[in-house]
């Protein structure tokens, strides 16, 4: 059951990352600095591009791992890897979203502030990132023939 929950958390992280990306794109397209939308600044574009790129990777990972989980091919390592990657990814995405929003991103009046706080929980829930690393690493080594011990 933990593996299924970990896959679920990974999917939730993908959804949250999509939302903070959407919020950031909309904000960058309309918020102005010096008479121009902040989305014209290359560093803002880079933050958005990194969020999008990691989101695509996380989404693809969740879809692939879910398919392998459903067939019974991988019910342990894949879900832990997806949970690890996606929970860390959404933490980076929310951090970048706060950065795009500047000082407003840290105020409770913006959705990204709440997501920034909420994203931290995903690195703990259903097993910490450190636990997921142990599961993935030990599982791969056992599959390679290393004895437990």
Q: Does residue 126 carry a catalytic annotation?
A: yes
CB 55 within 8 A of CB 21: yes
Residues 6+ apart with CB under 8 A from 118: 16
SS3 of the chain: helix, strand, coil, percent, to 5: 80, 5, 15
Choosing from 23, 73, 126, 130, which is the catalytic residue?
Answer: 126
DSSP helix/strand/coil, 130? helix
Q: Name which of 30, 82, 21 is nearest 52 in CA terms.
A: 21
Query: Taking each helix axis from N to C terminus, what angle separates 2-30 and 77-101, rounded to the nearest 10 degrees?
Result: 20
Active site residues: 126
């Amino acid at each position: 059951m933990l593996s299924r929950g970990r896959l679920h958390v990974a999917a939730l992280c993908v959804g949250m990352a999509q939302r903070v990306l959407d919020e950031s794109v909309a904000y960058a397209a309309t918020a102005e600095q010096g008479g121009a939308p902040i989305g014209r600044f290359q560093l803002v574009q880079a933050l958005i591009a990194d969020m999008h790129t990691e989101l695509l990777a996380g989404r693809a990972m969740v879809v692939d791992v879910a398919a392998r989980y459903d067939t019974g091919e991988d019910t342990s390592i894949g879900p832990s890897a997806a949970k690890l990657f996606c929970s860390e990814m959404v933490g980076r995405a929310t951090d970048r979203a706060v950065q795009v929003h500047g000082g407003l991103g840290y105020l409770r009046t913006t959705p990204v502030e709440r997501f920034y706080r909420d994203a931290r929980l995903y690195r703990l829930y259903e097993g910490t990132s450190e636990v997921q690393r142990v599961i993935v690493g030990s599982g791969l080594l056992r599959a390679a023939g290393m004895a437990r011990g």
